[in-house]
Amino acid sequence: MNNIYQNNRENILKAADVIKSGGLVAFPTETVYGLGANVYDSQAVSKIFAAKQRPKFDPLISHIADVEILRTYAATDERVFALAKRFWPGPLTFVLKRIEENPSIDLACSGLRTLTVRMPNHPIALSLIKESGVPIVAPSANKYQSISPTTAQHVADGLGSSVDMILDGGACKVGVESTIIDLTGKNVVMLRAGGTAKEDIEEFLGEKILINEGNPDLPTAPGQLLRHYAPKNMLRINAEKPENDEYFIGFGDIDGDINLSKSGDLTEAAANLFAYLRFADNKAVNGKIAIAPIPLNGLGLAINDRIKRASYHK
């Protein structure tokens, strides 16, 4: 079944109808493709967990197209709006305190007293949210623990007919998930490194932010699980050169069978990361992949986080 729909007005309206009637729509964002449902429709939200085969309910990010809606369901302050003004639309997600007793969003929030929200920087995502008239909750549109999707075809390969419509927006420009920051306390705490560089947030706030990498046995975010984003084959990271039988993903001057960015550009490398991991997974005839060292600055932090988890084996 081909459920990939090209980007045009008619298909966006059709997708909005699917959202409004309780279905699932996969849509492009600047980071990765999301698997979306109406935040207020628990039945639709539970279909997301079934399609992803997530073993338990985890809180989901609400995607909004208008900052003002925040006032209706989250505790906001000047810091929240200042960060939103600087970084939205864009790959930065806020964890905020919930203010309303709206039980219909309990499942989306996993029963927590917090709510997680971002405004994606993608015209298709923003139109879909506006036409649906509700915030759209969306985890990455892939099966639990597998590599995140950065094209419509990746979504179709992973989720098939469990999603009603896949809107095709081409390849995602950023390529790694949003950075998640917890704004519920005095200090800003980063829960997941992602598409917004930590340095940029710190420069804007004029202070260092804390990092909570989480307790892997009790993750605040599934992204904090030791094994996540994983290819089928073994992955070795920080490899200066490949062993004979490894399929090698290079970076910068350390060239490989493929190279995340020959010029050593971390933004380009992030955009290529998940697609190249999939590609290598198909090419690695001996079951082994290796990847060159990636620096830790800028988007390198998110890239290292993802490949470290992808390489984890018990």
Task: Indicate whether 95 belongs to the interface with ligand TXA (CB under 6 A).
Answer: yes
Q: Name the residue nearer to ligand TXA (CB basis): 105 or 284.
A: 105
Q: Is 41 in the site for ligand TXA (CB under 6 A)?
A: no
The C-alpha atoms of residue 107 and residue 43 are separated, in whole angstroms, by: 9
Q: How many whole angstroms separate alpha carbon 159 and alpha carbon 35?
A: 10
CB of 127 to ligand TXA, least distance (A): 16
Draw the binding track, 10-29, toward ligand TXA (x: CB under 6 A; -: no contact): -------------------x
Asked whether position 58 contacts ligand TXA by CB under 6 A, the answer is yes
| Residue 140 contacts Mg ion per CB under 5 A | yes
Of positions 138, 181, 197, 292, contacts ligand TXA by CB under 6 A: 138
What Cα–Cα distance (Å) separates residue 35 from each residue in 65, 112, 156? 16, 21, 11
Over the window 245 to 284, marking each residue x when it contacts Mg ion by CB under 5 A and - when it does not, the resulting string is ----------------------------------------
In whole angstroms, give the CA distance from residue 113 to residue 99.
8
Q: Which of 149, 223, 231, 250 binds ligand TXA (CB under 6 A)?
A: 223
Q: How far is the CB of 211 from ligand TXA (least distance, A)?
A: 14
Q: Output the six-digit token pair for 248.
A: 């090698």
Location of structure tokens 């990361």:
273
Interior angle at CA 274, CA 270 and CA 275, nearest 5: 110
By CB under 5 A, residue 179 contacts Mg ion: no
Contacts 24+ apart (CB under 8 A), 238-243: 238/291, 238/292, 238/293, 239/290, 239/291, 239/292, 239/293, 240/292, 240/293, 242/290, 243/288, 243/290
Residue 93 as a binder of Mg ion (CB under 5 A): the answer is no
- Reduced to 3 states, what is the DSSP secondary structure of residue 143? coil
Per-residue contact string for residues 157-196; x = within reach of ligand TXA by CB under 6 A: --------------------xx-x----------x-----
For residue 146, what is the DSSP state?
B
Question: Do residues 33 and 141 touch, judged by C-beta distance below 8 A?
Answer: yes
Q: Concatenate the DSSP letters of all residues of 204-242 into one string.
A: HHTSPPEE---BTTB-SSGGGSSS-SB-SSEEE-S-SS-
Does position 32 interact with ligand TXA (CB under 6 A)? The reply is: yes
Residue 231 touches ligand TXA, criterion: CB under 6 A: no
76 binding ligand TXA? (CB under 6 A)? no
Question: DSSP E strands: which ranges in the chain?
Answer: 4-5, 25-27, 34-38, 61-63, 92-97, 114-118, 136-137, 165-167, 179-182, 189-192, 210-211, 234-236, 247-250, 258-259, 288-291
User: What is the contact mask toward ligand TXA in residues 96 to 115, using x (rule: CB under 6 A)?
Assistant: ----------------x-x-
The three-state secondary structure class of 183 is coil
Q: Does 93 bind ligand TXA (CB under 6 A)?
A: yes
Pick 14 or 143: Cβ nearer Mg ion? 143
Please, are residues 192 and 233 in contact by the beta-carbon 8 Å criterion? Answer: no
Closer Cβ to ligand TXA, 5 or 247, answer by number: 5
Shortest Cβ 303–ligand TXA spacing (Å) = 14
What is the footprint of ligand TXA within residues 233-292 (CB under 6 A)? none
Residues that bind Mg ion (CB under 5 A): 140
Residues that bind ligand TXA (CB under 6 A): 29, 31-32, 34, 58-61, 91, 93, 95, 112, 114, 116, 120, 138-140, 177-178, 180, 191, 220-223
